[in-house]
Amino acid sequence: MAKRIGKYKVSKREETLSAVDGATIEGSLDGITNLTATGTSTLTTAVIGTGGVASTGEIRLTGCAAPANSVAAVCNGVAVAADGAGIYEVIFETDFGGYTATATDNGLIKTAITIPTDSMIIAASTIVTEVVGQNNTSTIDLVSATTAGSDTADEAVSAVLTIIDGLDFKSSGAGALGALGAPVYANDIVHHIGSTGTSTTLCWINKGTGNGTAAYVSGKILTYIKYMGTGPASADTRV
């Protein structure tokens, strides 16, 4: 005997495919632009893309990505409330190829990502993914800076928080392939780096006035940041 879903008679096969009475949907959802569920739903996925996946329950996953160029950023929410506040992890790669070092203290080298104000940076680390193409002293910092004053190369940046401090980015030092960079914690007691305050731009800058003027033929740094804030990060490719 045929069964009904609502006012429609359905076969046993169609009933099996229906999710109205609780079922598992498997396969591609390509072409479905609006999928709504009520009650408790479980989403299982092998890969979460950068476009963003959300649920109306207790946890929301969000993400973002930069254009496909030499600087990319991917951000995922680890535990996020409905209003967007929560813990986020972001990973981004900065390409220093073509940059010419200067001796400007706090001089802007590259912008990396934008994050919400008053974000608490919990953890950070870096690894060199492409050896830098120069071997002169070139000490650099990763900092959180105010957006104003961070839109022109070599501009003196107003750094609010230093995240990675004093990498000597040369091929025989911190610019060697696989070289690691460690964060600057607030002190020997707490296990966080610090708040970004009113700043929103994470960027790489010169440290001190002792850097030469060598050109970076190559060089890439992959950076991981974990923070608590009011929303996800996005790539900042202005410089």
Per-residue pLDDT of the chain (239 residues; tens, 9 = 90+): 567 666 677 676 666 656 565 556 666 666 666 666 666 565 554 443 444 444 333 333 344 444 344 456 787 888 888 888 999 999 999 999 888 888 888 999 999 999 999 999 999 999 999 999 999 888 999 999 986 666 788 888 888 999 999 999 999 999 999 999 988 886 666 667 899 999 999 999 999 888 878 788 899 999 999 999 999 998 888 88
C-alpha 90 chain-centroid distance: 3
Beta bridge partners of 72: 93
**Cα–Cα distance, 44 to 104 (Å, whole number):** 50
Is 13 within the bounds of a domain?
no
What is the pLDDT, as a whole number, of residue 20? 60
Is 19 within the bounds of a domain?
no
The structural domain count of the chain equals 1
What is the pLDDT, as a whole number, of residue 28? 63
Is 190 within the bounds of a domain?
yes
Q: How many residues are listed for the chain in this entry? A: 239
Phi-psi region of 6 (alpha: psi -120 to 50; beta: other; left: phi over 0): left
What is the pLDDT, as a whole number, of residue 167? 92
The secondary structure of residue 180, as a DSSP letter, is E
On whether the CB atoms of residues 106 and 122 are closer than 8 A, the answer is no
Residue 78 belongs to domain spanning: 48-235
Is 211 within the bounds of a domain?
yes
Is 20 within the bounds of a domain?
no
Pairing mode, strands 63-65 and 72-80: antiparallel
Is 40 within the bounds of a domain?
no
Is 21 within the bounds of a domain?
no
Is 155 within the bounds of a domain?
yes
pTM of the model: 0.70
Q: For residue 142, what are the contacts with CB-CB under 8 A and spacing of at least 6?
A: 112, 124, 126, 162, 163, 164, 181, 202, 203, 204, 223
Beta bridge partners of 86: 80, 229
What is the pLDDT, as a whole number, of residue 15? 63
What is the pLDDT, as a whole number, of residue 23? 59
